[in-house]
Structure formats: structure tokens, C-alpha cells
């Protein structure tokens, strides 16, 4: 079988790396198409994964620039697919593989977990073969969908595939003795972020000042940091960030993905952004591993940090164990679903759940 994997974001690289290993170990051929956004292509290069760049993220400029890139990428992917003739296409978000499926009838499986990406979901879900989402996904889905007990982050951070290394965490900046706090700010340039506004500089500076009295602070940012906090910028290897998360005292930031990554690693997280996610809501309601903050004000964020810091690490470790017992190895699931499509019922049965 020839499988096409479409990569549009750094998180997609992490999600598919283990399924790619599984497919190739079974003799399947895998071709990768990529998009220059943040460090996505850098990660592919670092992992020595050959890929074909089809487009670049247009940066700021709103919907018009995103639409131009969408058209350009659709045409490039269509040409690539006609040349390579894959048996099936997979991707996260999946707007491009959905549109190419419509023109070629090559099956496309879209994996997604972002409910507020209403525009991209509207132009994707009706045209793809199968939409695959976590059970906690909260918004509309077409009839051709599948829910599974897991999170995207368990495709690469499940214990079957990832073992935290304290040595690598130290290389990434972990404090050798005291607490380490990780903060993340984002650029808000994704299609589902067009009307979004992130943290103010004042909120970031106050958060750094509050946490720096309690340990070492590291700030990971997509954009340029204010002068007051530039000295806290993450300077470790890109590949070591998850090791740093596993040993950190607390994560605070406006990245839902990184909050969820911390949760499945047992590091308590505060997801502070105007919009929510079904998976971080579940990680708060069922496992108390995430605290969701919807109002970006200093008093509310300070209270949330105080609440999470008041609990012992053992509390979060026990809750993580419960989470892992409830969820599946998502990489193994993704690999098997792709191989066995369209028999989704047999795939679900193999992993112990029903569709």
C-alpha cells in the first residue's frame, strides 16, 4: 500500500511520526507532502523524513492570503497525487486531501480535534472519506465520522512510544534542583485563529514575574518576546521540548496542544485562551490535569496558577495513570485504521471500542 501523509503544521509531524514507522515496518510505502509553517519542515528534516514542500504559510494577512494558499496547495497536491498515485491519503485538518479526494476519488482520512475551526471544517468535512475525532469532540460532524477514546497527543506521547529523559530535559533548560515553569505564547495565524487575540504583553510579563519568584521560567513563543522577558526565551533543542514538559512543575499558555501534551505527561497545565477545546475541557472535568481559563485577566490567571500549584505532584501522577488506562495507543490506532479502511468497525473492535 502507498500512503500519502500531508503535513501542514509542526504538530502534524509529531502525530504521524509513529504511524509512519509502523507502516514502513510492515512494508508500506509512505510519501510525505509538507507546508512551510513555523518549524514543520525543520522537524521533518531533523527526523530525516524526505518530504515534498507544496506551499508556505502566508503569515499575517487574513482570509484572502489563506484562500490563495489553499488554491495553490490544492493544485500542487492534485498534481503530486496524479503522479504518485497513492492508495490512500491522511492528514490533520485535511482540507487539501479532502478536495483532492473529491477530484480523484482516492480515499482520504481526516484526523481532527479543533471544534472552533468552523471555516476549515465547513470546507473539509463534506468532501472527505472519513472524519476521525476524539470522543470528547463537541461540534458538528458528517455521518461519515468515527470517534475514538484518545487524544492526538497520545500518538507520540503514549508510554508505548515516549519515555521522558531527565538528561534531555536538562539540555532543554530544566532547573537541576528547583521548580521549572513553562509558558507558551502563539502567533494566532492559523485559519481558525483569524478573529482571535492572544495574551497582552502586560499579562505575559506579570506571569513571568509571578513564577520567577517560585522557580525557573522558560517562555516558548512563536513571535518576538517583549524586552522584559527576552532572557527567559526557550533556547534548548527543538526535539527536547516534550522531555522538558514531563519534568516541569506547571505549564501556562495559549496553546491547547501543549496543554494537552503536558496533561498526558502528568504535568499540570493551564490553558489560557479565549476559545476552548473539547479535549482540554475533558482533561479538566475528568482528570483535573488542565485548568481552562477563558478570560485573559491577571487576577483570574493568578488564581488559576495558585490553585494548580497548591496540589502535590502525586495528585497529577495518579490522574495521569487513570487517563492512560481510559485511552488507547493512538499511533497504533491511526496505523491500523489507515491499513484497514474502509472496515472501520473491525478497527474499532480491535481497540476495544464501538463506533
Domain residue ranges of the chain, discontinuous segments joined by +: 2-158+329-350, 166-326
Q: Which of 182, 157, 161, 164 shows the shortest CA–CA distance to 323?
A: 157
Question: Does 166-326 match 2-158+329-350 at the fold level?
Answer: yes
- Extract the residue ranges of the chain whose pLDDT is less than 50: 188-196
What is the CATH number assigned to the segment(s) 166-326?
A: 3.40.50.2000
Q: CA 296, CA 267: separation in Å to the nearest integer?
A: 22
Looking at the structure, give the CATH architecture of the domain made up of residues 2-158+329-350: 3-Layer(aba) Sandwich (3.40)
Q: What angle do CA 71, 85, 20 make, to 5 degrees?
A: 90
Helices (H), 26-123: 40-46, 62-84, 95-104, 118-122
Q: CA 156, CA 159: separation in Å to the nearest integer?
A: 9
Task: Enumerate the β-bridge partners of residue 218.
Answer: 182
Q: CA 148, CA 135: separation in Å to the nearest integer?
A: 5
Ramachandran quadrant class, 48 (left: phi over 0; alpha: psi -120 to 50; beta: rest): left
CA distances from 134 to 7, 99, 164, 258, 328 (A): 20, 23, 24, 17, 11
- CB 241 within 8 Å of CB 172: yes
Predicted pLDDT at 193: 40
Q: Cis before residue 342, ω within 30 degrees of 0? A: yes
Amino acid at each position: 500500500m502507498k500512503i500519502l501523509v500531508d503535513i501542514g503544521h509542526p504538530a502534524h509531524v509529531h502525530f504521524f511520526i509513529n504511524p509512519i514507522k509502523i507502516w514502513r515496518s510492515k512494508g508500506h510505502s509512505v510519501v510525505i507532502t509538507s507546508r512551510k509553517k513555523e518549524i514543520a519542515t525543520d522537524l521533518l528534516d531533523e527526523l530525516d523524513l524526505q518530504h515534498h514542500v507544496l506551499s508556505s504559510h502566508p503569515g499575517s494577512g487574513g482570509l484572502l492570503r489563506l484562500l490563495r494558499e489553499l488554491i495553490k496547495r490544492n493544485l500542487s497536491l492534485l498534481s503530486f497525487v496524479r503522479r504518485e498515485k497513492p492508495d490512500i491519503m491522511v492528514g490533520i485538518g485535511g482540507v487539501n486531501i479532502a478536495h483532492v479526494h473529491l477530484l480523484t476519488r482516492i480515499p482520504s482520512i481526516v484526523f481532527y480535534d479543533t471544534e472552533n475551526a468552523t471555516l476549515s471544517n465547513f470546507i473539509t468535512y463534506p468532501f472527505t472519506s472519513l472524519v476521525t475525532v476524539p470522543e470528547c469532540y463537541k461540534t458538528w460532524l458528517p455521518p461519515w465520522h468515527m470517534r475514538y477514546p484518545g487524544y492526538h497527543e497520545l500518538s507520540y506521547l503514549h508510554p508505548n512510544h515516549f519515555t521522558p529523559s531527565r538528561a534531555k530535559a536538562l539540555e532543554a533548560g530544566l532547573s537541576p534542583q528547583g521548580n521549572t515553569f513553562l509558558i507558551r505564547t502563539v502567533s494566532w495565524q492559523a485559519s481558525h485563529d483569524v478573529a482571535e487575540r492572544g495574551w497582552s504583553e502586560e499579562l505575559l510579563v506579570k506571569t513571568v514575574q509571578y513564577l520567577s519568584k517560585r522557580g525557573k521560567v522558560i517562555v516558548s513563543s512563536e513571535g518576538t518576546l517583549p524586552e522584559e522577558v527576552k532572557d527567559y526565551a526557550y533556547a534548548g533543542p527543538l526535539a527536547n521540548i516534550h522531555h522538558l514538559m514531563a519534568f516541569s512543575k506547571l505549564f501556562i499558555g495559549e496553546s491547547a496542544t501543549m496543554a494537552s501534551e503536558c496533561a498526558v505527561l502528568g504535568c499540570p497545565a493551564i490553558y489560557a485562551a479565549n476559545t476552548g477545546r473539547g479535549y482540554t475541557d475533558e482533561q479538566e472535568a475528568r482528570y483535573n490535569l488542565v485548568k481552562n481559563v477563558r478570560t485573559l485577566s491577571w487576577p483570574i490567571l493568578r488564581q488559576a496558577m495558585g490553585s494548580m500549584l497548591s496540589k502535590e505532584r502525586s495528585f497529577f501522577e495518579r490522574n495521569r495513570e487513570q487517563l492512560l488506562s481510559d485511552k488507547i495507543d493512538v499511533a497504533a490506532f491511526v496505523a491500523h485504521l489507515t491499513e484497514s479502511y474502509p472496515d472501520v468497525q473491525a478497527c474499532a473492535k480491535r481497540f476495544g471500542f464501538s463506533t
